[in-house]
Amino acid sequence: MPLTAVRPHIKPMLLLAYPVILSQLGHVLVNVVDSVVVGQTGKVALAAVSLSVSVSTVVMVLGLGLSMGITPLVAAADGKRDMPLLGRLLVNGVLLSTLAGVGLAGLGLIIAPQLRYLNQPAEVVALAMPWVRLIFLSFLPLMIFQGFKQFAEGLGLTRQAMYLSVGANLLNALLCYMFVFGNLGAPQMGMIGAAWATLISRVLMAILMATYVLRAARLRPHREAAASGLGLHGPTLRRLLGLGSPIGVQMMFEMGAFSFSAIMIGWLGTTSLAAHQIAINVASATYMAASGIAAAATIRVGNMRGLGDAEGARQAGFTAYGLTFLFMSLMALILILARDFIPYFYNNDAAVVAQAATLLLIAALFQISDGLQVVGLGALRGLEDVKIPSLVALLAYWAVALPLGYFLGFKLNMGAIGIWIGLLTGLTLVAGLLLWRFRQHSAVPVPAAMAVH
């Protein structure tokens, strides 16, 4: 596609994307801060964080994906200026997210005791179990936050969630510093203190995001529309579930592959697991930045589609592809140049640092594939195309990436490096297939009627 076609979309895409990027980074920066702070207490605690995050994130992204079904529907309804539909999406979207949060929080009580059956180092499991229970409890306020956030972002209001995410992460960092080490008069709680910091910061995020949506003057018409149709609306809930569930499942497949890779690496010992946590932590930060561009693509593509502008939706999607390619190429270069220095921010153990540096080199290689696959998912969500991408993720990660990683890591004795090469292969496969899918699907004319009735 020529530059003249995508140029008009670059500025609107960036204006939407940068607040979403900072907001999305908020989810992973919680883990980054926890890992950096807890890592200073030793490699066993850092390995426990890796195990805990690997297990809890699989469940968390299922909830996040479910709530992401709100955004493209809101964007399309906003393009049509369908206020009654927007009111129903606000009520039912927040309700669905809250119920999901209750379910996810309850899962922590079931999942935590199962960690002992994953064949991980005993000292790591002992530290991880209470952490998992507390982190799962924080999923309730996180999902309430998501319900209001995804609605606002569908309207193009992305800065508010950005401010809250930045503020919450600063609070989380301060509370981690206080609770883990016992600073500023706080009790010294060790690793579990970081989990308490996360819970407190997420409760605050939920309260403030809800307050904004329920009080902001610019959203008064939306609240009035919601009040006039207050209550459950079956077709709207089914549409939200029909769009959000495949997104959540796709994200769970992807994150589940990374999490199971961490479990396999745990079979190699504490040092390998700690090194993996460093590398995946850094890669997750750059991934979330690309995920922010993907979210902006969902909004722009969905809005253009709601306006009936199929070519505009196609151009918006390819604009997101181009921006992501440039950004992730830069991130790959930075990781290559800084791979020997970054691990020291987490831990000073020589064996951990050396292995993490090697894994960061592989992470640099899959930056572009990782970015392009997530922006492909975002653009396709704007087209309300979510089921086939979920199937692609299932096959690429679980039928290709994990078996290949196991074969290379354990049968060919390549260890953690082999497991990461398997992940690189899966990401590249998904990126290529989704790009082809978007090229095909975005050429289809916009349906005459897309509204929920």
Query: For residue 199, what pLDDT is reported?
Result: 94
According to the model, what pLDDT value does residue 29 have?
A: 66
> What's the pTM value of the predicted model, to 2 decimals?
0.73
pLDDT given at position 170: 86
Each residue's pLDDT expressed in tens, for the chain with a length of 453 residues: 566 666 777 877 777 777 777 766 666 666 667 677 777 777 788 778 778 877 888 888 889 888 988 988 888 888 788 888 888 899 899 999 999 999 999 988 888 888 888 888 888 888 889 989 999 999 999 999 999 999 998 888 878 888 888 888 889 889 988 998 888 888 888 888 988 999 999 999 999 999 999 999 989 988 888 887 667 777 888 888 888 888 888 788 878 888 888 889 888 888 888 888 888 888 877 887 788 888 888 888 888 887 788 888 888 889 999 999 999 999 999 999 999 999 988 878 888 889 999 999 998 988 899 899 989 988 998 888 878 888 888 888 889 999 999 999 999 999 999 999 999 999 999 999 999 999 888 777 655 444 444
What is the structure's pLDDT at 101? 94
Query: Rounded CA gap, 316 and 311, in Å?
Result: 9
User: What pLDDT is stored for residue 134 in this prediction?
Assistant: 92
